[in-house]
Structures are given as structure tokens and as C-alpha cells.
Amino acid sequence: MFGLGLMVGALLLLGVSMWTFERSRLSSKEIALLVVLAAVASVGRVVFAAIPSVQPVTCLVLLTGLVFGPLEGLLVGAASAWLSNCVLGQGPWTLWQMVAWGLAGGSAGWVGRWRPASGRWTLTSLGWVWGYLFGWIMNLWYWAAFVQPHTWPSWLLVNAGSFGFDTAHAVGNVVFALLLGGDLLTMLRRFHRKLLATTAPALL
């Protein structure tokens, strides 16, 4: 029942996000750019698939959230997981990867609204934190589905087993953020300003 409840909650989160997206006033240009970002993140994950837990998806999803907002970050995160798994393999883990990367992008979006001038160091900090949060969300699915009994010791044991992979994820995020984050933030913000400038008259 615990695992079923988690799955229902995950599906509700994604369903509400899609419903909100359908009712949003994003322009076709904005949607096209978000699709491109999701595709780039997916390709990046596939390219780095040989290195466990190290991939640029998290960094790109966080960048999207910081620049475009919570909903856009969530959708790009969820789409990136689904698209990349079309190559790497779909399974019950796909739902949880969609949720984890979606929440990463959504949280970055709220940080971006709180601090609109957030830069490379904010991205780096988020990347470090989400290296572990992503792992814990995936562990929650594994713990609920395959581990008995559901106790604090068993939960801590599952997280201890993934600590090395989560640390590799966090370190990889920091490296990508430091190497690429500043330039990509500047580029995406420039694109975002142009999109707002070209779509604003149509929305008035």
C-alpha cells in the first residue's frame, strides 16, 4: 500500500503539471525552445551513460528552471527522463526519474523567482544538493517496492548503499555548472528576453 500510494502521488504530480501546462499561455516559440532543451539534456545523458551517475541532465534542468520558471523546469526535467529512457530503456524507474528531475527543475524555478539574478554559484549549489536529493527520491521508490520492513534502519541502509553514486552525481553537477553554467545562463536569459519581447504584444 505504501508503494502504491507513492506511485499515485507521483502520477498526480505529473498529471497536474501537464494540466497546468495545457492551460498556460506559453507561446509556440517558448514551447519549441523547451522541447529543444529537453532533447539536448536527453542526448547528453545518453552520451555520458557509460559513466555511472555523471551526466549533464540535472545541470540543464536546473538551468531551465532558473531562467524560465518552475513549470518549465519541471516539464523539461520530466521530458528529459522519458526521452532519454527511450534509448537507455524504459521501466518503472522512469516515473521516478521524471518526478526527481521534474522537482529539480521546479525547485530551481522557485529559486529563480526568489533571486532573479541567480548565477553560476547558485546553480552549483543546487547541483550539489540535487545530486543527493535525486538519489534519495530514487531510493524511496526502490525502498517502497523491494525492501521489507519499511523502517528507519532499512531506509538508512538503502541510502548508504547509494552514497557513492549520489556523490558522483553531485560532483558531476558541480563540474558541469562550473564549466558551462555561466555561459549557458547568459545565453538562455538572452533567448528568454527575446521571446518575451516578441510575444508580449500578442498577449496584450
Cell of 203: 498577449
Each residue's pLDDT tens digit, 43-69? 999 999 889 889 999 999 999 999 998
Tell me the three-class secondary structure of 17-49, residue by residue. Answer: HHHHHHHCCCCHHHHHHHHHHHHHHHHHHHHCC
Q: How far is 81 from 95, CA to CA, in rounded Å? A: 8
pLDDT-derived band at 203 (thresholds 50, 70, 90) equals: very low
Q: Check: CATH 1.10.1760.20 for 2-7+29-203?
A: yes
pLDDT for residue 7 is more than 90? no
For the stretch 116-165, pLDDT in tens is 888 889 999 999 999 999 999 999 988 988 888 889 999 999 999 999 99
> What is the domain partition of the chain in residue ranges?
2-7+29-203
Report pLDDT for 1: 60
Question: Would the pTM count as exceeding 0.75?
Answer: yes
